[in-house]
Amino acid sequence: PKEPSGSLSADSIKIKKEVANAFVKRKKRSSPYEWYFEYYKSPLEQMHERCENYPPCDLLSDQVGFALAYNRFFG
């Protein structure tokens, strides 16, 4: 069914699972390390997220750099 604008609605666009799997492939993980790093973040990445989620730290990190901003608010 077409909408008034002439485009198809999202409900009308469906494909079978087998067809979707033909062109969308998941990347295989080759080692346990890849499994580990997919689920656990490094301490540095955790620090970046903590600073990004605190607006004053995020703003300051754009001006003076991440390390100085993080140490100013959390160090």
- 3-class DSSP state for residue 2? strand
Q: Considering the entire predicted model, what is its pTM?
A: 0.51
Overall domain count for the chain: 1
Q: Which domain holds residue 70?
A: 39-74
In a domain, 45, yes or no: yes
Query: Is the pLDDT score of 1 beyond 60?
Result: no
More confident residue, 48 or 75: 48
In a domain, 13, yes or no: no
Structure confidence at residue 59 as a pLDDT band (50, 70, 90):
very high
- In this predicted model, what pLDDT tens digit does every residue of 7-38 receive, in sequence order? 666 667 777 777 776 766 666 667 777 777 77
DSSP-assigned letters across all residues of 44-72: HHHHHHHHHTSHHHHHHHHHH-HHHHHHH
